[in-house]
Structure 1
Amino acid sequence: MTRSDLVNLLAARFGQLTHRDAEFAVKTMLDTMTEALGRGHRIEIRGFGSFAVNRRPPRMGRNPRSGEPVVIPEKLVPHFKPGKALREAVDRTAAASTPTPASASGEKA
């Protein structure tokens, strides 16, 4: 699902929202989350998951073209950890849509 798919889905599901309002809501939410992570805060959405910032320490790498060592600086990267409800929902949905080995080969059980 893309950002525009999400905007279209929200506008369709909630008739009182115009497409422009749905787009503004999605943009505001994502911008607010980005700013919070940028300040080092943790975001937790119950039943969905949590976002945090992980630190990748500086390390020595290698230039693949020349082979010479290169210092790779420290990085702060966003990390998402899905919540239990999300993991279970994805597992149920995937299990329901995945054919069983017997039905995949065309055999009858």
Structure 2
Amino acid sequence: MARFYDYVEELLEFLFVRLDDDGFATLVAHEPRRMLAPYIETGRGRCEQRSAAFVGCVSCSEIISGGYGDYQSINVEAWPCRPVRELAVLYADAAEYNEGWRPEYAGFVSGRLVFEVS
């Protein structure tokens, strides 16, 4: 298995031992992959194109062509995306469940929350 950040591997291991065939198919559709989101950084008389490296899924992480105006405007969902978090929340009673995996805590690559906490 490819090495990712610890939280990615921890969640994958948690789900692998619990999912049925349908859940596993959903997980495969939202498989984590390393990606880049290009953005422009300006300031002090300079303008540079940079990229934010992140783990996302092909299904939910749509990167706009041409990049983003700045880092804070990146509106690409980081992994685990909402569908994966919804799979995990089914097992919220398990001792190994991490409350940070709840769907309302999904975030953009830029660090902002994707979903409002209700």
What TM-score do the two structures reach when normalised by structure 1? 0.31
Q: Greater share of strand residues, 1 or 2?
A: 1
Structure ID, larger Rg? 1
TM-score normalised by L of structure 2? 0.30
Q: Greater relative contact order (Cα 8 A, min sep 6): structure 1 or 2?
A: 2
